[in-house]
Amino acid sequence: MPNRKPGPSVKNKELYEDLRDKGDSKEKAARIANATKREGQKKVSKRGGSSGSYDDMSRTELYDRAKKVGIEGRSSLNKSQLVKALRDH
């Protein structure tokens, strides 16, 4: 079946075609082809968000995060103290 067209919503057309050749249904092949992680993509947690390590953030970024979560006394904390406060919060 060389003239199959997976449709515009399928992200990985080669994988889709390989799965269809192996006998998977259109729906299953499309789901698998769309769910595969593309190279270079940022890792995403199960809840859908992603964040970097506190160690890689600047003091200003850590301060803003501490402010957002409501850590008291954040203005007097240095970078390592902010990291510890955020991890312990």
- List pLDDT tens digits, range 8-40: 788 888 888 888 999 988 888 888 888 865 554
- Cβ-proximal residues to 38 (8 Å cutoff; 6+ apart), any chain: 11, 12
pLDDT bracket for residue 85 (50, 70, 90): very high
Neighbours of 31 (CB within 10 A): 14
- pLDDT of 73 reads 94
SS3 state at 89: coil
DSSP-derived letter for residue 38 is: P
Neighbours of 62 (CB within 10 A): 23
- pLDDT of 55 reads 85
- pLDDT of 71 reads 92
pLDDT digits (tens, 9 = 90+) for 53-66: 888 889 999 999 99
Q: Which one is predicted more confidently, 3 or 67? A: 67
**Would you give the end-to-end CA distance of the chain in angstroms?**
57
Given a contact cutoff of 8 angstroms between Cβ atoms, the answer to whether 28 and 19 are in contact is yes
pLDDT digits (tens, 9 = 90+) for 67-82: 999 999 999 999 999 9
Residue type at position 30: A
